[in-house]
Amino acid sequence: MSPGQRPPSNRPPPRVATVLRRLQRAYGPRPWRARGTPLDSLIGTILSQHTNDTNSGAAMQRLQEAFATWDDVADAPLPRIAGAIRVAGLHRQKARTIRQVLRRIREDRGKVSLEFLRRRSTREVKDYLRALPGVGPKTAACVLLFCLKRPVLPVDTHVHRVSRRLGLIGEKTSAEQAHDVLAERVPDEKVYAFHVLLIQHGRQVCHARRPDHAACVLRDLCPSADT
Protein backbone atom coordinates (compact mmCIF):
# COMPACT_ATOMS: atom_id res chain seq x y z
CA MET A 1 0.00 0.00 0.00
CA SER A 2 1.43 3.37 -1.01
CA PRO A 3 1.89 6.19 1.55
CA GLY A 4 -1.35 8.04 2.25
CA GLN A 5 -3.50 5.36 0.63
CA ARG A 6 -6.48 4.22 2.69
CA PRO A 7 -6.85 0.53 3.49
CA PRO A 8 -9.52 -1.32 1.52
CA SER A 9 -13.03 -1.24 2.98
CA ASN A 10 -14.28 -4.31 4.85
CA ARG A 11 -17.87 -3.22 4.30
CA PRO A 12 -19.88 -5.98 2.54
CA PRO A 13 -21.65 -5.19 -0.72
CA PRO A 14 -25.27 -4.05 -0.31
CA ARG A 15 -28.30 -6.07 -1.33
CA VAL A 16 -29.65 -5.30 -4.81
CA ALA A 17 -33.13 -4.77 -3.33
CA THR A 18 -31.80 -2.12 -0.94
CA VAL A 19 -29.93 -0.33 -3.73
CA LEU A 20 -33.03 -0.22 -5.90
CA ARG A 21 -35.24 0.97 -3.05
CA ARG A 22 -32.88 3.89 -2.37
CA LEU A 23 -32.52 4.83 -6.04
CA GLN A 24 -36.27 4.67 -6.68
CA ARG A 25 -36.82 6.98 -3.74
CA ALA A 26 -34.25 9.40 -5.15
CA TYR A 27 -35.19 9.31 -8.84
CA GLY A 28 -38.69 7.88 -8.94
CA PRO A 29 -40.06 4.52 -10.13
CA ARG A 30 -39.12 3.17 -13.55
CA PRO A 31 -41.96 1.10 -15.05
CA TRP A 32 -40.86 -1.38 -17.70
CA ARG A 33 -42.06 -0.42 -21.18
CA ALA A 34 -41.27 -2.19 -24.43
CA ARG A 35 -40.93 0.05 -27.47
CA GLY A 36 -40.08 0.04 -31.16
CA THR A 37 -39.23 -2.75 -33.55
CA PRO A 38 -36.30 -5.12 -32.98
CA LEU A 39 -34.47 -3.75 -36.01
CA ASP A 40 -34.99 -0.11 -35.04
CA SER A 41 -33.78 -0.97 -31.54
CA LEU A 42 -30.68 -2.70 -32.88
CA ILE A 43 -29.71 0.17 -35.20
CA GLY A 44 -30.45 2.74 -32.50
CA THR A 45 -28.22 0.90 -30.04
CA ILE A 46 -25.37 0.77 -32.55
CA LEU A 47 -25.72 4.52 -33.02
CA SER A 48 -25.70 5.07 -29.25
CA GLN A 49 -22.24 3.61 -28.75
CA HIS A 50 -19.72 6.14 -27.38
CA THR A 51 -22.16 9.05 -27.53
CA ASN A 52 -25.11 10.47 -25.61
CA ASP A 53 -28.83 9.90 -26.10
CA THR A 54 -29.35 13.28 -27.75
CA ASN A 55 -26.77 12.64 -30.45
CA SER A 56 -27.80 9.05 -31.10
CA GLY A 57 -31.46 10.05 -31.29
CA ALA A 58 -30.65 12.81 -33.77
CA ALA A 59 -28.58 10.38 -35.86
CA MET A 60 -31.42 7.86 -35.95
CA GLN A 61 -33.89 10.54 -37.03
CA ARG A 62 -31.59 11.79 -39.79
CA LEU A 63 -30.92 8.27 -41.01
CA GLN A 64 -34.64 7.54 -41.28
CA GLU A 65 -35.26 10.87 -43.01
CA ALA A 66 -32.48 10.21 -45.52
CA PHE A 67 -33.66 6.68 -46.44
CA ALA A 68 -37.19 5.41 -46.99
CA THR A 69 -36.47 1.83 -45.90
CA TRP A 70 -33.76 -0.26 -44.24
CA ASP A 71 -33.31 -1.97 -47.61
CA ASP A 72 -32.29 1.43 -49.00
CA VAL A 73 -29.72 1.78 -46.24
CA ALA A 74 -28.38 -1.70 -46.97
CA ASP A 75 -27.87 -0.74 -50.63
CA ALA A 76 -26.52 2.78 -50.03
CA PRO A 77 -22.89 3.89 -50.43
CA LEU A 78 -21.08 4.09 -47.09
CA PRO A 79 -20.31 7.85 -47.39
CA ARG A 80 -24.03 8.60 -47.69
CA ILE A 81 -24.89 6.56 -44.60
CA ALA A 82 -21.97 8.07 -42.69
CA GLY A 83 -23.06 11.58 -43.64
CA ALA A 84 -26.55 10.99 -42.29
CA ILE A 85 -25.29 9.77 -38.91
CA ARG A 86 -22.32 12.08 -38.48
CA VAL A 87 -23.77 13.62 -35.30
CA ALA A 88 -23.45 10.27 -33.49
CA GLY A 89 -19.66 10.24 -33.74
CA LEU A 90 -17.55 7.41 -35.13
CA HIS A 91 -19.86 7.79 -38.11
CA ARG A 92 -17.74 5.90 -40.65
CA GLN A 93 -17.31 2.92 -38.37
CA LYS A 94 -20.99 2.88 -37.42
CA ALA A 95 -22.06 3.24 -41.06
CA ARG A 96 -19.99 0.21 -41.98
CA THR A 97 -21.42 -1.84 -39.10
CA ILE A 98 -25.01 -0.84 -39.86
CA ARG A 99 -24.72 -1.73 -43.54
CA GLN A 100 -23.04 -5.06 -42.75
CA VAL A 101 -25.76 -5.89 -40.23
CA LEU A 102 -28.58 -5.05 -42.62
CA ARG A 103 -27.03 -7.04 -45.45
CA ARG A 104 -26.43 -10.04 -43.21
CA ILE A 105 -30.04 -10.02 -42.02
CA ARG A 106 -31.31 -9.83 -45.60
CA GLU A 107 -29.00 -12.64 -46.65
CA ASP A 108 -30.15 -14.81 -43.73
CA ARG A 109 -33.85 -14.02 -43.79
CA GLY A 110 -34.63 -12.89 -47.33
CA LYS A 111 -35.73 -9.48 -46.06
CA VAL A 112 -34.48 -6.76 -43.74
CA SER A 113 -36.55 -7.49 -40.65
CA LEU A 114 -36.03 -8.92 -37.18
CA GLU A 115 -39.69 -9.42 -36.31
CA PHE A 116 -39.11 -13.18 -36.24
CA LEU A 117 -37.12 -12.67 -33.01
CA ARG A 118 -40.32 -11.98 -31.09
CA ARG A 119 -41.17 -15.68 -31.45
CA ARG A 120 -37.74 -16.98 -30.43
CA SER A 121 -36.39 -17.83 -27.00
CA THR A 122 -34.11 -15.40 -25.24
CA ARG A 123 -31.13 -17.69 -25.85
CA GLU A 124 -31.94 -17.90 -29.57
CA VAL A 125 -32.28 -14.13 -29.81
CA LYS A 126 -28.94 -13.62 -28.06
CA ASP A 127 -27.21 -16.12 -30.31
CA TYR A 128 -28.63 -14.61 -33.50
CA LEU A 129 -27.82 -11.02 -32.58
CA ARG A 130 -24.32 -11.84 -31.29
CA ALA A 131 -23.56 -13.51 -34.65
CA LEU A 132 -24.21 -10.23 -36.49
CA PRO A 133 -21.19 -8.05 -37.35
CA GLY A 134 -20.18 -5.71 -34.52
CA VAL A 135 -22.94 -6.78 -32.12
CA GLY A 136 -21.67 -7.48 -28.59
CA PRO A 137 -23.45 -8.55 -25.40
CA LYS A 138 -24.56 -5.04 -24.44
CA THR A 139 -26.15 -4.31 -27.83
CA ALA A 140 -27.95 -7.66 -27.86
CA ALA A 141 -29.15 -7.10 -24.29
CA CYS A 142 -30.53 -3.66 -25.18
CA VAL A 143 -32.70 -5.14 -27.94
CA LEU A 144 -33.93 -7.86 -25.59
CA LEU A 145 -34.66 -5.50 -22.69
CA PHE A 146 -36.03 -2.40 -24.38
CA CYS A 147 -37.84 -3.90 -27.36
CA LEU A 148 -38.65 -7.52 -26.59
CA LYS A 149 -39.18 -6.97 -22.85
CA ARG A 150 -36.94 -9.84 -21.82
CA PRO A 151 -35.12 -9.70 -18.46
CA VAL A 152 -31.62 -9.33 -19.88
CA LEU A 153 -29.41 -6.67 -18.29
CA PRO A 154 -27.25 -4.49 -20.57
CA VAL A 155 -24.03 -3.43 -18.84
CA ASP A 156 -22.92 -0.05 -20.12
CA THR A 157 -20.14 2.09 -18.67
CA HIS A 158 -22.39 3.53 -15.91
CA VAL A 159 -23.87 0.19 -14.83
CA HIS A 160 -20.39 -1.32 -14.81
CA ARG A 161 -18.83 1.52 -12.80
CA VAL A 162 -21.59 1.80 -10.19
CA SER A 163 -21.89 -1.98 -9.77
CA ARG A 164 -18.14 -2.27 -9.27
CA ARG A 165 -18.02 0.55 -6.72
CA LEU A 166 -20.91 -0.98 -4.80
CA GLY A 167 -19.13 -4.33 -4.75
CA LEU A 168 -21.90 -6.06 -6.72
CA ILE A 169 -19.20 -7.26 -9.11
CA GLY A 170 -15.51 -7.77 -8.56
CA GLU A 171 -13.03 -4.94 -9.02
CA LYS A 172 -11.48 -6.71 -11.99
CA THR A 173 -14.73 -7.91 -13.55
CA SER A 174 -14.95 -6.63 -17.13
CA ALA A 175 -18.16 -5.16 -18.56
CA GLU A 176 -18.60 -8.27 -20.70
CA GLN A 177 -18.14 -10.59 -17.71
CA ALA A 178 -20.51 -8.42 -15.65
CA HIS A 179 -23.43 -9.43 -17.87
CA ASP A 180 -23.28 -12.97 -16.50
CA VAL A 181 -22.42 -11.99 -12.92
CA LEU A 182 -25.24 -9.48 -12.56
CA ALA A 183 -27.71 -11.80 -14.28
CA GLU A 184 -27.35 -14.07 -11.25
CA ARG A 185 -27.80 -11.25 -8.74
CA VAL A 186 -30.59 -9.08 -10.15
CA PRO A 187 -34.08 -10.64 -10.12
CA ASP A 188 -35.78 -10.75 -13.52
CA GLU A 189 -38.54 -8.36 -12.51
CA LYS A 190 -35.96 -5.80 -11.34
CA VAL A 191 -33.65 -5.86 -14.37
CA TYR A 192 -35.18 -2.88 -16.17
CA ALA A 193 -35.27 -0.64 -13.09
CA PHE A 194 -31.74 -1.68 -12.10
CA HIS A 195 -30.39 -0.78 -15.54
CA VAL A 196 -32.02 2.62 -15.94
CA LEU A 197 -31.56 3.72 -12.31
CA LEU A 198 -27.86 2.84 -12.21
CA ILE A 199 -27.38 4.78 -15.42
CA GLN A 200 -29.10 7.83 -13.95
CA HIS A 201 -27.11 7.56 -10.73
CA GLY A 202 -23.88 7.18 -12.69
CA ARG A 203 -24.61 10.25 -14.77
CA GLN A 204 -25.75 12.49 -11.93
CA VAL A 205 -23.75 11.40 -8.89
CA CYS A 206 -21.39 8.44 -9.30
CA HIS A 207 -19.16 10.12 -11.87
CA ALA A 208 -16.16 8.32 -13.31
CA ARG A 209 -13.53 10.73 -11.96
CA ARG A 210 -15.06 12.54 -9.01
CA PRO A 211 -18.08 10.79 -7.52
CA ASP A 212 -20.23 13.15 -5.47
CA HIS A 213 -20.22 11.23 -2.19
CA ALA A 214 -22.05 14.02 -0.37
CA ALA A 215 -25.05 13.72 -2.70
CA CYS A 216 -25.03 9.92 -2.88
CA VAL A 217 -28.04 8.15 -1.38
CA LEU A 218 -25.97 4.94 -1.32
CA ARG A 219 -22.95 6.33 0.50
CA ASP A 220 -23.49 4.39 3.72
CA LEU A 221 -23.92 1.18 1.71
CA CYS A 222 -21.02 1.67 -0.67
CA PRO A 223 -17.67 0.00 0.09
CA SER A 224 -15.87 2.39 -2.27
CA ALA A 225 -16.99 5.40 -0.22
CA ASP A 226 -14.48 4.32 2.43
CA THR A 227 -11.47 4.24 0.09
Residues classed as catalytic: 138
Is the CB of residue 51 less than 8 Å from the CB of residue 89?
yes
- CB-facing half-sphere around the CA of 219: CA atoms within 13 A: 8
Torsion of CA 138, 140, 23, 215, to 10 degrees: 30
Asked if 144 and 191 touch (Cβ cutoff 8 Å), the reply is no
How distant, in Å, are the alpha carbons of 20, 71, 88, 100, 161 from that of 68?
42, 8, 20, 18, 39
Q: Is 187 left (phi over 0), alpha (psi -120 to 50) or beta?
A: beta
Pair 168, 182: CB distance under 8 Å: yes
Q: String of b and e for 157-189 (b: at least 16 CB within 10 Å)?
A: ebbbbbbbbbbbbeeebebeebbebbeeebeee
